[in-house]
Structure 1
């Protein structure tokens, strides 16, 4: 009889503890479901801090030696023009000319072209003096005085503006995005008669850098979205 009572007591205590653990388990499980997922957006407009400007011009002729001398002289004129305007040697690079033999490009009965060789020359300016280069782009017509016509319109030779100082503004933007996410979470908690708890998970989205618009590619819009999970307390 004594052993039976002991076993009964042990069984009763075990059932009681099991009930407590089950209750706590359900409570914890319910608390895990009380999470609000919010996103925070931060945007900033910044001026481009790097510009790549290809100066492209064409040369036509029938004699390669004469064309070589002409191109060499034109390159020297362009480089001198750029330096006089405030650019440095290290910001200017000269590419090898691209030569098209028009005679080799003829098909069938196509009339013979007036000039055999069509040469494309490119001098590229890469600089952090964005405002200076923007001014020079509008002044490039001065080269016409030297018989050099800078051409445009080809996609691969477009002026490119970049923003390379993202690390300087990252902390500020992440802070702003996180603040905006918390404000959204607090509003949700208030509407659901809850209190906002701690951060359960946080995800920093990818930063994107795009032109503000098609007319001002030298002004960039930086954007980031953070995703944060907050717990909700009663």
Structure 2
């Protein structure tokens, strides 16, 4: 085979490959153009009661004598713990943190006129599944206040946190419901567009979220999930 013949053969092969590639690409575009897909979202929601309560009880004390201050903290701690156990909480549901003591004269900008040199804060935390008992027991703190215990701290540090920890028990049924609701939306769309709902193309489960139902009832939770589902449409 001479050089001219080889060149012609190579040129023909190149043209053939280019033509084949163009035909395949055009076919893919045509197939994509005729592919009709509807993407829909399905929502599932549940309202559930919290099953865990975290109750921080913070109290304060002050004295010019450090030893006397620690004595006050010990008595107040024992009084609060007794109140909680009498209310029905077990010892393993009650945690006492170390006291935070401040010497006002040792601070950088000391107040030489402070009436009490030492002040202290201590927190006792109840972590319990007895949510209703926690809510009921809050009212009893007023009686402890009458005994000389000064409950302090800002609103946030004193706020009870309510948790829902049984999400795994809800997940299967909620995902099924969200997917079913998504299909109902897709079927309605197909009917409105004079089409028929085809096979499932893909499905994506969204993140589960757990929020307070509202600001006034943090012990009631709203659980929700949104699923995104793609279906083929057929004429």
Category of TM-score, reference length = shorter chain: 0.7 to 0.9
Q: In structure 2, do the counterparts of structure 1 residues 79 and 29 end up closer, same or farther at CA, with 3 Å as the change threshold?
A: same
Is residue 73 of structure 2 the alignment partner of residue 71 of structure 1?
Answer: yes
Q: Structure 1 residue 148: deviation in Å?
A: 1.4
Matched residue SS, 1:126: strand
- Runs (5+) with no aligned partner, structure 2: 1-19
Q: Which residue of 2 aligns with 1:58?
A: 60
What is the distance in 1 between the residues matched to 2:226 and 2:28?
A: 35
Q: Does structure 1 conserve the Cα–Cα contact (< 8 Å) formed by 2:43 and 2:178?
A: yes
Q: Structure 1 residue 60: deviation in Å?
A: 0.4
Q: Which residue of 2 aligns with 1:97?
A: 99
Q: In structure 2, do the counterparts of structure 1 residues 184 and 102 end up closer, same or farther at CA, with 3 Å as the change threshold?
A: same
Alignment of 1:24-43 (within 5 A): 28-31=31-34, 33-43=35-45
Matched residue SS, 2:224: strand
Q: Structure 1 residue 29: deviation in Å?
A: 3.0
Q: Structure 1 residue 34: deviation in Å?
A: 0.5
Q: Which residue of 1 aligns with 2:211?
A: 210
Q: Which residue of 1 aligns with 2:193?
A: 192
Q: Does structure 1 conserve the Cα–Cα contact (< 8 Å) formed by 2:48 and 2:221?
A: yes
Q: Does structure 1 conserve the Cα–Cα contact (< 8 Å) formed by 2:58 and 2:158?
A: yes
What is the distance in 2 between the residues matched to 1:184 and 1:130?
A: 39
Between the two proteins, the alignment pairs up a number of residues equal to 214
Measured on the aligned residues, the alpha-carbon RMSD in Å equals 2.2
Q: Which residue of 1 aligns with 2:222?
A: 221
Q: Which residue of 1 aligns with 2:122?
A: 121
Q: Structure 1 residue 113: deviation in Å?
A: 0.5
Q: Which residue of 2 aligns with 1:82?
A: 84
Q: What is the TM-score of this pair, normalised by structure 1?
A: 0.84
- Runs (5+) with no aligned partner, structure 1: 1-17
What is the distance in 2 between the residues matched to 1:104 and 1:54?
A: 28
Q: Structure 1 residue 74: deviation in Å?
A: 1.1
Q: Structure 1 residue 197: deviation in Å?
A: 1.0
Q: In structure 2, do the counterparts of structure 1 residues 182 and 65 end up closer, same or farther at CA, with 3 Å as the change threshold?
A: same
Q: Does structure 1 conserve the Cα–Cα contact (< 8 Å) formed by 2:56 and 2:157?
A: no
